[in-house]
Amino acid sequence: MPKVLIAPMTLADVGGTFADRLRAAGFELVYPARAAQLNEEELLHALQGVSASLAGSEPYTRRVIEANPTLRVIARVGVGYDAVDLKGATDHGIAVTITPGTNHDAVAEHTFCLLLALTKRLTPQHLATKAGSWPRQTNLPLRSRTLGLIGLGRIGKAVALRGVCFGMPVIAYEPFPDKEFVKKHEIQLLPLDKVFADSDYLSLHVPLTPESRHMVNRRTLALMKPTAFLINTARGGMVCEADLVDALRDKRIAGAGLDVFEQEPPGQSPLFQLDNVVLTPHIAGGDLRSRDDMAAAAASAIVALSRGEWPAEQVVNPEVRARFKW
């Protein structure tokens, strides 16, 4: 019986559609020894004898791939795949899949959770009230404040719609825009540096690539208003955290809401010492509904590939098809 590793800690001891689909197709479900994000060494051993993996953010390095020759599919429970050595997977005939269209609303909701928490000073007011104080300070409005988006794909669009509902003018940087969507919702497309400069709230929604790595850095942070906030629910590598910490300490920007970090978990980050940040543990895309939808879609990709079918809309390394064997 072929085995599937259920790697994401959010799926530990969780049944549902994904498990039913895999078992009905004749797979045995294997879970890690502990419900935590696996490091490279743990993943290397957890994959032994496994044919496919429902993958979270654990590192599928070339070393991990080469140590597990039975692995045929890495099915990401999500849309980002920067934790996978794509060339290494392709070189070894492994199909890598994602789950498009399953979590964009969850990420958009979490983006606004962070944005509102910063705007309304939720954390300090909550803590002060619990401590017996009565900190009735005037908070910022969202209405009429400019929401800047870097990336206007599925997630960027979902965030834009929520910004419009809050009465926020929306500007965006997007090289390949959906012109109909942009026109309908009166979104202003601008060059990248102009979006940094004009945003009151700047939210990142592009994949992590060599071009986008550290796109938020000392230079681009200097373009931002001192009253502006940065929100990152995309990938931690897009932000140079050392430069961001300096900007936050020096009040060169007003604050930041981060769901993702350069290193995950972030260890003893200097961000933890700042009072103008709101931090969450890379959970934006994983509410109950999106978790189940992503897991079901990932399971379906594994089942399809095991049957000789090719879920083209999910495979991110289509060049592997010619040499792919179950």
**Active-site amino acid positions:** 235, 264, 282
Tell me if 260 sits within 8 A of 278, measured CB to CB: no
Place of tokens 């209405």: 143
User: Which amino acid makes up residue 198?
Assistant: D
Tell me if 37 sits within 8 A of 58, measured CB to CB: yes
* Helix (H) and strand (E) counts in the chain: 12, 12
Integer Cα distance of 300 and 100 in angstroms: 13
3-state secondary structure of 74: strand
DSSP type of residue 93? T
Integer Cα distance of 18 and 6 in angstroms: 10
Place of tokens 């990420």: 107
- Residue 211 to residues 25, 50, 71, 261, 316: CA-CA distances in angstroms? 40, 34, 30, 18, 18
Contacts 24+ apart (CB under 8 A), 219-227: 220/193, 220/196, 221/247, 221/252, 221/253, 222/252, 223/193, 223/196, 223/197, 224/196, 224/197, 224/199, 224/252, 224/253, 225/197, 225/199, 225/200, 225/253, 226/251, 226/252, 226/253, 226/254, 227/200, 227/254
